[in-house]
Amino acid sequence: MHQDLASTALAPCLPRKQQAPAATCPELANYLPLGDNELTRLMAIARPVPVAAHRRLFLDGEPADDTFLLSSGAVRTFRLLPDGRRLITAFMFEGDFLGFTVDGRYEFAAETITPARLCRIPRRRLDALLDDCPRLRNALLHFATEELRLAQDHMVLLGRKSATEKLASFLLHLARRHARDGRTTEPMQVPLPMTRGDVADHLGLTTETVSRTLTQLRATGAIDIPSLRSVTVLHPGALAALADGG
């Protein structure tokens, strides 16, 4: 079902020398607090990669040859158990770094959910650049730290929250993230690019429970569900109260 990315979306990028002006990733500037010089050097090694929906970017355990900046679209990162059970460790959106590792192997698999644009940064070159670019190093360290913080939050969610609390927390998280990136509509309409099954595999539930719990949340008036792929947060306060059993 899932084609390997290397043979499809990434392939067109490999023969870089043929196109006279190599494509660049100007959007890097939007996500990294860097000086002109550092940005120029980073852009020199980054290449834009458009990827279709539902394509695998990499698998966990593979050599981590590239780091990616996601500049549009949504990605899921996950781990599988031998029998196929899946846990989606995170959903990634515009501005997130993906696949940055220090020990040379990806720690999770990643697939696009929607069509996406990525900036692909070869690891060897990035490492070299990091050596004398403290601000970039710092920026990546901040991303890694944030990732760890989110992982801690999520462990609490997975280990100690009820289905309702899980959904409320998740929707709030999505809403905040969406507000952070883009525009804040009132009432806040939040896109849900992932399926109910994806949500279930992120929250440690089943599709059915996600569906039922969303229906219940709608019944409380905290949210509305105008379409399958979006949720309107009508009452953030109520949702926040539900999110940790307050």
* Residues at the site binding a second copy, with contacts judged by CB under 8 A: 79, 81-83, 85-87, 89, 101-103, 107-108, 131, 134, 138, 141-142, 144-145, 147-149, 151-156, 158-161, 201-204, 244-246
- Distance of closest approach, residue 13 Cβ to a second copy, in angstroms: 27
The nearest distance, CB 99 to DNA, in angstroms, is: 24
- Which partner from the list a second copy, DNA, none does 83 bind, CB cut-off 5 to 8 Å by kind? a second copy
Please, what is the Cα angle at 21 between 16 and 22, to 5 degrees? 35
Nearest approach, Cβ of residue 196 and DNA (Å): 3
The distance of closest approach from Cβ of residue 85 to DNA in the complex, given in angstroms and rounded to an integer, is 9
Whichever of 173 and 196 has its CB closer to DNA, that residue is: 196
Pick one of a second copy, DNA, none as the site partner of residue 103 (Cβ within 5 to 8 A by kind). Answer: a second copy
| Cβ atoms < 10 Å from Cβ of 217 | 21
- 158 or 179: whose CB is closer to a second copy? 158
Nearer to DNA, 101 or 216 (CB): 216
Q: Report yes or no: 106 and 61 within 8 Å, Cβ to Cβ.
A: yes
Residue 72 CB partners (closer than 8 Å, separation 6+): 94, 116, 117
Ordered DSSP codes for 59-119: -TTSB--EEEEEEES-EEEEEE-TTS-EEEEEEE-TT-EES--SSSB-SSEEEESS-EEEE
Q: Using CB under 7 A, list all residues that contact DNA.
A: 162-164, 195-197, 204-212, 214-215, 225, 227-229
User: Whole-number minimum distance, CB 87 to DNA, in Å?
Assistant: 12
Q: Give residue for tokens 């394509």.
A: 55
- The residue among 22 and 155 lying less far from a second copy, judged by its C-beta, is 155
Residue with smaller CB distance to a second copy, 88 or 118? 88
Out of DNA, a second copy, none, which partner does residue 81 contact, by CB within 5 to 8 A per kind? a second copy
Nearer to a second copy, 60 or 224 (CB): 60
